[in-house]
Amino acid sequence: MDNKKVEKTPKHQDKLRALDNLSLGISIVAAVAIGFGIGYGLKVWTGYTWTLWLGIFWGVAAAILNIYKAYKRAQKEFEGLENDPRYAHRAKYGDKSEIDDKE
């Protein structure tokens, strides 16, 4: 019997990652659309045009926050790869191939 630890990954892990990236794009569009809706509602309710721009600004700010959160999540996920032997050479010496060194 082997005493090796075998990590089991979920069967559909790649699909879940793809859906997570797709949801980022959808959330950007949704944030701007919701911000526009709030701004338009405030414009109709108050009569001031600048409230429409305020709502759009809130939507764009929410979209940027979503992108930042996704970046931090991806950075944390790939943080451990620098110590992985498959990527250690590239992390230490860069992404040059041997052909480039001969030139």
CA distance 19 to 71: 15
Per-residue pLDDT tens digits for 36-80: 999 999 999 999 999 999 999 999 999 999 999 988 888 887 777
Per-residue pLDDT tens digits for 3-19: 555 566 677 777 777 77
Write out the two tokens for 80: 């451990």
Spatial CA neighbour of 24 closest among 79, 74, 58: 74
Residues 26 and 70 sit within 8 Å (Cβ to Cβ): no
CA distance 46 to 56: 16
User: Is the model's pTM score more than 0.85?
Assistant: no
For residue 2, the model assigns a pLDDT of 52
Q: In one letter, which amino acid is 55? A: G
